[in-house]
Amino acid sequence: MPAEIRDGLMNNVGFSRVVIVGLGLIGGSLAAALKRFADAPSVVGIDVDPVALRVGLERGLIDEGSLPDGLGAQTWLCADGADLVVLAIPARHVRFWLETLAQRGYDGVVTDVASTKSGVLDAVHATLPNPSRFVGGHPMAGSELSGVSAAKADLFEGAYWLLTPFTDTDPDAFRAMHSLVTAIGARVISVDAQAHDEAVAIVSHVPHVTAAALVDLAAAHAGEHGDLMRLAAGGFKDTTRIAAGSAELWTGICLDNAEALSEGIHELRQRLEGFENAVRGRDADAVKTWLSQAAEVRRSLPTQWVPATTRLTELAVPMLDRTGVVAEITGAASRAGCNIEGIDIDHQSESAAVLVLVLTDEGDFEALVAELANLGYEPELRPLEEAGEDS
């Protein structure tokens, strides 16, 4: 749904007060997206930069702002101070804020937007008295620009937003976060933390390093007066756009995900060496095959994903309310290539419930049902329209 159509709609996410720690591009854009709804929650911001708070207030992104040691921050991060805290800060700063939440007795839902997850989840279990209320997140959206001044309400429209539940994740906390993310137009994929870090190294971190390397290569050949740079055409600029991102931010990302990034760079170097050998050997068939395969894969990427409502499928999974059930079921959906458009929990009793997933028309449904059956579940899969007629 286009962003302009979302204006004025009800969000139905169940959060009445949202605290965003870090009013940068992502935190500010999330605030802007939430404020588009008719029943927009109260959104308050915490940042070390008073200018960022002022800009957020002037643009109407937040209702109130506070420095980390301000009275507002002390009030919002206590028990009953808010329903959701979003840590929109680099991964290396997450632990400090988790410790702060634990010290002040905050008992609501917590999420983050860090681009690496394993270290964050380790910090969660080491600091929070109730880690089940934490739902890790990573929006795959951004810009070469940074700061709250670059925030856009439609930044997440059609973008992937990865959620990383773990064995202790509270099903209701996961459902609430899923509802919020889909309400602002993003597409949820549920993965475990290690798989997340390995995946983003390939599709996000290695590309950024590669773009920086291309710029460095061009700069080394630019000449005294930068003549080569004046010849840089649209293709070079498009390919290297992300290299203009914050060096400080990306240093942290590279080091936080050092192992997976190093492996990705190693694999990329092997592929480039193979292509280099084909070029040096004047092997036209190998060169053409390599380029054709890449072109075919690139053309297959959708410019924007829009769910075909008539082809949505409902998966109902009866379950016992036990540790790890949400991560287990949503992880199976991810492994089968299925994407979750909606999620609900129908509580049957104090210990039993039915987890209802609305799936898009992607993925291997048979593989998903088979894996869930092997795990001991009795899943029921049916077209959404048929499911709606029975309800």
31 and 169 inside one domain: yes
- Whole-number Å distance between alpha carbons of 48 and 67: 5
Same domain, 83 and 223: no
Mean pLDDT per 10-residue interval, the chain, length 391 residues: 45 80 95 91 96 96 95 93 95 94 95 90 93 92 81 90 87 90 88 82 90 89 67 74 83 87 94 95 95 87 51 82 79 82 76 82 84 89 63 45
Who's near 99: CB < 8 A, 6+ residues apart? 127
Give the structural domain span for 326. 309-390
Quick one: tokens of 64?
């109130």
| Closest to 23 in 3D by CA, of 113, 103, 118, 100 | 113
Would you state the pLDDT for residue 1? Answer: 42
CATH number of domain containing 249:
1.10.3660.10
Q: Are residues 335 and 242 in the same domain?
A: no
DSSP β-bridge partners for residue 137: 163
Residue partners of 391: CB distance under 8 A and separation at least 6: none
CA distance 387 to 245: 46
Q: Is residue 172 part of a domain?
A: yes
Q: Looking at residue 240, what is its pLDDT?
A: 86
d(CA 112, CA 134): 9
Same domain, 177 and 225: no
Q: How many CA atoms lie within 13 A of 358 on its CB side?
A: 21
Give the sign of the dihedral formed by CA 172, CA 177, CA 183, CA 186.
Answer: negative
- Is residue 9 one of the residues assigned to a domain? no
Tell me what pLDDT residue 382 has: 82
Which is it for strands 42-46 and 187-190: parallel, antiparallel or unpaired? unpaired
pTM metric for this prediction: 0.70
Q: What CATH number did the domain enclosing 380 receive? A: 3.30.70.260
Q: Are residues 130 and 36 both part of a single domain? A: yes
pLDDT on residue 267: 94
Look at residue 6 and tell me if it is in a domain.
no
Do 22 and 87 touch, CB atoms closer than 8 A?
Answer: yes
Same domain, residue pair 130 and 79: yes
CB neighbour class for 287 (10 Å; exposed up to 12, middle 13-18, buried from 19):
middle
138 is a domain residue: yes
Q: Is there a single domain that holds both residue 154 and residue 201?
A: no
Among 191, 209, 244, residue at a domain's last position: 191
Q: Identify whether the C-beta of residue 18 lies closer than 8 Å to the C-beta of residue 41.
A: yes
Compute the Cα dihedral for 299, 304, 305, 308 and give only its sign: negative
Same domain, 239 and 359: no
Q: Quick one: 169 and 115 in the same domain?
A: yes
- Looking at residue 4, its pLDDT comes to 45
20: closest CA among 100, 74, 91, 76? 76
Q: What is the CATH number of the domain that holds 146?
A: 3.40.50.720
Listing DSSP states for 112-141 in one string gives E--S--HHHHHHHHHH-S-GGGEEEEEE--
What is the domain count for the chain? Answer: 3
Query: Quick check: is 329 in a domain?
Result: yes
Q: Are residues 374 and 260 in the same domain?
A: no
Which residues are 342's β-sheet partners?
Answer: 358
| Residues 164 and 45 both lie in one domain | yes
CA triple 232-237-241, angle to 5 deg: 150
- Do residue 292 and residue 319 come from a single domain? no
Cβ(19)–Cβ(84) under 8 Å? yes
Boundary (domain end) residue, out of 143, 160, 191? 191
Evaluate whether residue 5 is within a structural domain. no
Residue 26 within any structural domain of the chain: yes
1 occurs within a structural domain: no
Extract the tokens encoding 186: 């993003």
pLDDT score of 232: 66
Nearest to 43 by CA among 25, 26, 57: 57
Domain boundary (300, 331, 354) is at: 300
